[in-house]
Structure 1
Amino acid sequence: MKIFCLIIFIAFPIMAWGKSEGTVNGFVRDASNGEPLPYVNVFLQNTQIGTTTNEKGYYVINRIPPGEYRVIFSMMGYGRHEETVEITSNAAVKVNASLPPSVLELEGVVKTAERERFVREVEISTTTLSARQMRSLPSFAETDLFRTLQLLPGVVSRSDFSSQLYVRGGSPDQNLVLLDGVTVYNPFHLLGLFSMFNTDAVKEVEFITGGFPAEFGGRLSSVLNIVNNEGNSKEFHGRVNISLPSAHATLEGPIPRGSYLVSARRTYFDQIFKNTRYDFPYYFYDLQGKVNIDLGGNHRLTLSGYYGNDKLDYDVTSEEEDFQVAIDWLWGNRTASLNWRWLIHPNLFSEVLLTRSNFALDLDLELVGDNIAALKLKNGIQDYSIKSDLNYFGLPGHSIKFGVSQTWYDFLYSFHIDQTPLFNYTNKPALFALYMQDQWQMNNLWSIRAGVRVENYDLGSRTRISPRFGAKYHLFPNFAIKGSFGIYHQFLTTAASDNQNFSFIDLWFPLSQKYKPLGAIHYVAGFEWWLPGDLILTCEGYYKT
């Protein structure tokens, strides 16, 4: 059954879309760098027909009577674009647009996007941050994503020495962290002091602290969805900067039919104090990259990856030189993803994502005295996933999304003393998920988001059904009330204590047949108020079991 669903979603995504009188569709991008532009207003001049682009910069306008029209693209902070099209019966016209930034770009773009979200979207407990917004907030040593999120309501930290997120009473292992669609299991450097995400490469961050929709699963508390920049497809750019703990370099530019971005970061104290009495035995580095290639007008491939390590190499000898300790400790994350975007039909949008996530830790500890003891610890988790999503826009007022995914895990823990194995644990569970959700704008007052997620975990053959529902009602043009309900399940957990104030490494384990999957129910209610000066006041109350 699982293989059949994967084949249906990936190889034969055939759906019954209705023939309309005429259709206009396409993508809208920033003319200066080629990045997609969400929430751009697209409308037909001298008519009431229009829409806005989604988070991918894609739009579609259906049921257009035959005739000649002027298509207008507008967004605060960008220049206006106009194009004349001829609409015929049962035909689709593709119109892509590039909008040049204007002098209002710095603040106008954010205001426009926030206003469109306020009017159209059912966004429960959601905060969206751009890289520019993150860099403008107070920071410790350098801009750090997790430190920024700790400033938000409902998020706390147990210690100044940890950037872990405790969201609405949940533990850090109940947060789903995604980097370009890839799950990240230990997103930290320096034993939890800094997050692993280099904000020089980040385009946008979506943080959902409760009531998240059916497309997300496997965690109980929150979703942190991080999207990297695609890279400048118009011209080459490079930048270098140095902060207190590290140095950064970023390169981006065009390639034939696409773009690339490479960003690197490394701490430098180990090099500054090398061969001195203040020798610093630790450093970390990370490398992020992204390549986009357009394969014709309807296909696009995106390859994204991350490679990072922390390294501690420390030797100490007693004053009497009769005892020596040598530590060689290496740990880090690697992620890779390949995304195939296919515009099957103006009303049907498909994405297939292949991902690999790996966290590995190797610790060698050698104690030299009257006797020599060598301890070796290995810890690793690998995650291979395939996911397919279909977005359907053929029903007026609806944005319907279907998805299916299969994940294969590989857990490894081993401990040896003098090459004698004392502990060796391996496990290879699998998780299958299927979901459907609909964002329905009923009228100018009501917006509804409803969905359901079905998950099957092969250890114990556990199947869980998770309904999700959210709604927003505009009492006044600038004031809306909202609420949501959802059931959530989690099949992995960590061995960390909830009371720890300093985090070393999260040790992940799959839940065995002896234990039921973890579960939670979210109830969220509140209001949004659009104030003068383009300020938004959001107030929410929640109950979480």
Structure 2
Amino acid sequence: MKTFITFVLMISASVGIAQTEIKGIVKDSKGEPLPGVNVFIQNTYDGTSTKPDGSFSFSSDETGDQILILQSVGFKKQELSVQLTGEPIENNVTLKESIDQLNAVTITAGAMEASDENKAVVLKPLDIVTTPSAMGDVVGALQTLPGTSTVGNDGRLFVRGGDASETAIFIDGLKVGNAFGTTANNVPTRTRFNPNLFKGSFFSTGGYSAEYGQALSSALVLNTVDIPVRNQGDISLMSVGGGYAQTLVGEKNSLTASANYFDLTPYQSLVKQNFDWERSPHGWDASISARQKWGNSGMVKAYLHKESSGMEIWQAEPGVDGKGSLVKIKNDYTYAQSSFKQIGKNDWSYTGGLSYSLNKDQIKLGGLDIVQQTELFHAKGVAVKDFSPAFSTKMGVETYWSGYEQSLVSEDLSRNFMDQQYNAFIESDYYVNNQLIFRGGLRSGYSKLNDELWIDPRASVSYKFRSDGQISFAYGTFSQLPEERFRVVDNELGNTKATHWILNYFHSKNGRTFRAEAFYKGYDQLLTFEGDVQFPEQLRLDGNGVAKGMDFFFRDNKTFKNTDFWITYSLVDSERKFGGYQTSVQPGFAPLHNGSVVVKHFISPLKSQIGMSFSMNDGYTYTNPNIPGEQNSKTKSYQDLSLSWSYLPKPNLIIHLACSNVLGRNNVFGYQYASETNDNNLFTGMPIQQGAPRFLFLGVFLTLSSDKKANQLNNL
């Protein structure tokens, strides 16, 4: 018995000697104690959690070299090598915050996401379709966002004092040439692409990524749908035409084919027009979209779009009796692209592709028979490397081949040019922590035609407050070659320049979003010329200007049940010397005050969504030659109240009715004047008005699928 007791005491003594006490304090990088941190020996049950003061203490029976692990949500796991000998060990540890991409700060200066996948959603793809004033046009919906101006006699996208040519449009990162349909002077146009094609967009009002170039004001990046959810056929019957689309979906691929036809002749025979049509706008389009999953983490897409359209219109001339001049336009357009994305090994990912645009216009104006043809080829490759959760770099190369030809058929005269551009860019993001991010980049370019090399730096920083709000600052320089119609006159024209400074505050929480932004944009080397824009002479890059101001955006889909609304206001103070102007002027496409209100309310018992949008600005400047100066006059304010009603009697049937300018306001966008004075020694003026007091759209959309529950909205 004595021997047994001695043996037990010896074992107890040896165990006591083997136990090691481990203690310490855990703090964050600011020196604040961290409670609830898990502290334990690797591959054992020995451990504890830190107390409210950050302290911990526990004992372990392990001996020798071990790994002490400390981990907590929101912080980087830390591993410490310790040697357990029975002697007490004390470790005071500082944990660094980890980068949680779902909660981390993002760059918001000049940037507005329109994607279901982004936590800072401003517009969802469905908003593009259901905004009453948009009439189903992507750009029409974007015109309700801050920084944009509504120019009703044009229809394209004007951003922060810049003209429409200063905005570049990309699909899956590839540039689209001639993204808007060809039209006659003062007849508004719209984008060529169906919004159902896209799952989201990135719309920049300035300070955008070094990945994109050749745009002084804005980049609009549209991202196409990946694999649709099911097989379905979509029939569209509209007041202006109709179409059909068929989608076939496999396990790893899909194919969508569509065709549409429109003719405004029946509609415009019923609704009074301010235009004198000889042949109303008409045309057709067809497209094919194919998608194929590539391996476990890749995707390949191909898209082909073909369309043809035409119109014939009599355009009155101020001071001239009669119908005026007959303008005939025939347009043929082709756009094709193939893109890919692939997640590689060792935290590399890759995207890229090819795109081709071909636009041909045949225009008959008076005695002139004009043919214009534009080609654009774009090839691009991008690689992204995540060196750590806190640091990543994007780098890429691309090339553009652009050509333009202009011919007078009856005179057998033509002129053209072909240019090759080569670009490279690099951009890095560094997360200091979840609250602070820096972004810096460089974009370089070279034009073979005018033998010019340029480098544009870009930089951003953003800080997120504990209250969920964040503040961002962005700076960048941007280069853009003049429009083709001017480069064909002088092939050696170089880049125009713009410098952006942007300060942004953004807050999004509980279904409410608030965004405020101040900006300053300086222009240099703007194109100026003598004579008329149709026949410019003495082209120079000696213009300049500024655009400065602020804008506000508020969206709320929580305060009122089944109601979503947003309010926008923009102040754009722009003056520039450009084009045929001899002095610095406020451009006619850049009103000082711009605002919009959009409201959508869903009425469940009626299976209906009612929409309202109101847009306004303080008027457009123009030059009245009867008084001294340039841009010396201003129109009355522009106002448009639009309403819409979407009715879903069955899940697969949508009836959509929309009406623009419900109040029938006579909006004027400027005046045209005769080139010579009348008997009273005055220049006769003629207002530039919108095409009709109102535009009424009625569409019936029927989806055919096996479950009879799908509709055309499930592709958005």
User: How does the TM-score come out when normalised to structure 2?
Assistant: 0.52
Contact kept? 1:302, 1:338, Cα under 8 Å = yes
Q: How many residues are paired up? A: 407
Q: Distance in 2 between matches of 1:218 and 1:331?
A: 25
1:412 to 2:390 alignment: no
Within the candidate set 405, 409, 418, 1:428 is matched to: 418
> 1:272: how far off?
7.9
1:543 to 2:520 alignment: yes
Within the candidate set 488, 497, 519, 1:519 is matched to: 497
Q: Distance in 2 between matches of 1:529 and 1:311?
A: 46
1:461 to 2:451 alignment: yes
1:130-159 C-alpha deviation (Å, 9 max, x unpaired): 32121232225x31111111112211123x
1:309 to 2:301 alignment: no
Contact kept? 2:333, 2:358, Cα under 8 Å = yes
Q: 1:223 to 1:326 in 2, by over 3 A?
A: closer
1:529 to 2:507 alignment: yes
Corresponding position of 1:217: 213
1:446 to 2:436 alignment: yes
Q: Distance in 2 between matches of 1:469 and 1:169?
A: 22
Give the residue type in structure 1 aligned to 2:154: S
1:482-526 C-alpha deviation (Å, 9 max, x unpaired): 1010011012326xxxxxxxxxxxx47469564331001000002
> 1:49: how far off?
7.2
**RMSD over aligned Cα, in angstroms?**
3.5
Q: Distance in 2 between matches of 1:352 and 1:245?
A: 37
Within the candidate set 168, 192, 200, 1:176 is matched to: 168
Within the candidate set 103, 121, 126, 1:132 is matched to: 126
Q: 1:492 to 1:362 in 2, by over 3 A?
A: same
Corresponding position of 1:43: none
Q: Distance in 2 between matches of 1:209 and 1:185?
A: 20
Q: Secondary structure at the match of 2:409?
A: strand
Q: Distance in 1 between matches of 2:72 and 2:437?
A: 20
Structure showing greater radius of gyration is: 2
> 1:255: how far off?
3.7
Contact kept? 2:482, 2:493, Cα under 8 Å = no
Q: Secondary structure at the match of 2:388?
A: coil
Tell me whether 385-394 or 179-188 shows the greater mean CA deviation.
179-188
Within the candidate set 182, 185, 193, 2:177 is matched to: 185
Q: Distance in 2 between matches of 1:415 and 1:288?
A: 32
> 1:203: how far off?
1.7
Tell me whether 220-229 or 511-520 shows the greater mean CA deviation.
511-520
Corresponding position of 2:29: none
> 1:221: how far off?
0.3
Give the residue type in structure 2 aligned to 1:341: K
Contact kept? 2:177, 2:375, Cα under 8 Å = no
Give the residue type in structure 2 aligned to 1:330: K
Corresponding position of 1:356: 356
Corresponding position of 2:677: none
> 1:200: how far off?
2.4
Contact kept? 1:289, 1:304, Cα under 8 Å = yes
Q: Distance in 1 between matches of 2:344 and 2:468?
A: 37
> 1:270: how far off?
4.2
1:31-57 C-alpha deviation (Å, 9 max, x unpaired): xxxxxxxxxxxxxxx975799xxxxxx
Corresponding position of 2:237: 242
Alignment of 1:335-346 (within 5 A): 335-346=335-346
Contact kept? 1:200, 1:263, Cα under 8 Å = no
Corresponding position of 2:264: 269
Q: 1:313 to 1:544 in 2, by over 3 A?
A: closer
Q: 1:118 to 1:187 in 2, by over 3 A?
A: farther
Give the residue type in structure 1 aligned to 2:126: R
Q: Distance in 2 between matches of 1:118 and 1:222?
A: 27
Contact kept? 1:429, 1:510, Cα under 8 Å = no
1:145 to 2:130 alignment: no
Q: 1:326 to 1:143 in 2, by over 3 A?
A: closer
Q: Distance in 2 between matches of 1:540 and 1:138?
A: 26
Q: Distance in 1 between matches of 2:259 and 2:499?
A: 40
User: How does the TM-score come out when normalised to structure 1?
Assistant: 0.67
Q: Distance in 2 between matches of 1:441 and 1:264?
A: 47
> 1:288: how far off?
3.4
> 1:394: how far off?
2.8
Give the residue type in structure 2 aligned to 1:296: G
Which structure 2 segments of 5+ residues have no match? 1-69, 80-99, 115-123, 270-276, 315-324, 523-716
Q: Distance in 1 between matches of 2:139 and 2:497?
A: 25
Question: What percentage of aligned pairs have identical amino acids?
Answer: 17
1:43-85 C-alpha deviation (Å, 9 max, x unpaired): xxx975799xxxxxxxxxx9999xxxxxxxxxxxxxxxxxxxx
Q: Distance in 2 between matches of 1:131 and 1:435?
A: 29
Contact kept? 1:333, 1:358, Cα under 8 Å = yes
Q: Distance in 1 between matches of 2:487 and 2:171?
A: 21
Q: Secondary structure at the match of 2:196?
A: coil
> 1:437: how far off?
0.6
Corresponding position of 1:479: 469
Q: 1:308 to 1:402 in 2, by over 3 A?
A: same
Give the residue type in structure 1 aligned to 2:180: F
Q: Secondary structure at the match of 1:200?
A: helix
Q: 1:348 to 1:280 in 2, by over 3 A?
A: same
Give the residue type in structure 1 aligned to 2:110: S
1:365-419 C-alpha deviation (Å, 9 max, x unpaired): 7x8xxxxx7x4311111111211100111323123110000111111111122xx
1:262-303 C-alpha deviation (Å, 9 max, x unpaired): 3443313347899xxx98543033333321123433543211
Q: 1:415 to 1:248 in 2, by over 3 A?
A: same
1:203 to 2:203 alignment: no
Corresponding position of 2:223: 227
Q: Distance in 1 between matches of 2:291 and 2:223?
A: 14
Which structure 1 segments of 5+ residues have no match? 1-45, 52-61, 66-114, 316-324, 368-372, 495-506
1:257 to 2:247 alignment: no
Contact kept? 2:173, 2:352, Cα under 8 Å = no
Q: Secondary structure at the match of 2:295?
A: coil
Alignment of 1:291-310 (within 5 A): 291-310=290-309
Contact kept? 1:492, 1:511, Cα under 8 Å = no
Q: Secondary structure at the match of 2:402?
A: strand
